[in-house]
């Protein structure tokens, strides 16, 4: 009985190890790069930031990846952000709303400043 209890798991192990590895197929991913031709610039006051690395970095990373944005930078000391963007792709109001939705929303608010 003892040898039978040893042989059964051993046979399962041998059968499982004899199976060939499944074939891995890599699918090429096509990424479309859209050129952003900045034709507008806006300044906004960003509130809710408490640190340079986390808050400021998260907002800049998110907005620089936003469609239509050529560049987005915040001066942490005065909480003013400058954004260069393509006004045919996105509006300044949409970008201000996008700041408010960073990190799940509710942490930051952006108010457009008059030029």
CATH number at residue 89: 3.30.70.100
Residue 17 dihedral angles phi and psi, to the nearest 5°: -75, -20
What sign for the dihedral angle of Cα 8, 10, 12, 18? negative
User: Does 13 reside within a domain?
Assistant: no
| 7-50 tens-digit pLDDT | 666 666 565 555 566 677 787 776 666 677 789 999 999 999 99
CA 68, distance to chain mean position in Å, is: 15
Residue 92 dihedral angles phi and psi, to the nearest 5°: -65, -35
User: Does 50 reside within a domain?
Assistant: yes
CA distances from 55 to 1, 40, 44 (A): 66, 25, 16
User: Does 70 reside within a domain?
Assistant: yes
pLDDT at residue 3, rounded to an integer? 64
User: Does 16 reside within a domain?
Assistant: no
Domain limits for position 56 = 40-112
The total of structural domains in the chain comes to 1
Q: Taking the model in full, what pTM does it have?
A: 0.66
């Amino acid at each position: 009985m003892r040898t039978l209890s040893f042989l059964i798991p051993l046979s399962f192990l041998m059968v499982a190890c004899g199976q060939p590895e499944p074939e891995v197929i890599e699918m090429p991913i096509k990424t479309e790069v859209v050129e952003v031709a900045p034709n507008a610039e806006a300044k906004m006051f960003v509130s809710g930031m408490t640190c340079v690395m986390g808050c400021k970095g998260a907002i800049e990373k998110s907005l620089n990846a936003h469609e239509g944005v050529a560049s987005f930078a915040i001066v942490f000391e005065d909480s003013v952000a400058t954004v260069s963007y393509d006004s045919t792709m996105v509006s300044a109001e949409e970008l201000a709303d996008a700041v408010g939705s960073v990190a799940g929303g509710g942490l930051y608010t952006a108010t457009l400043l008059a030029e």
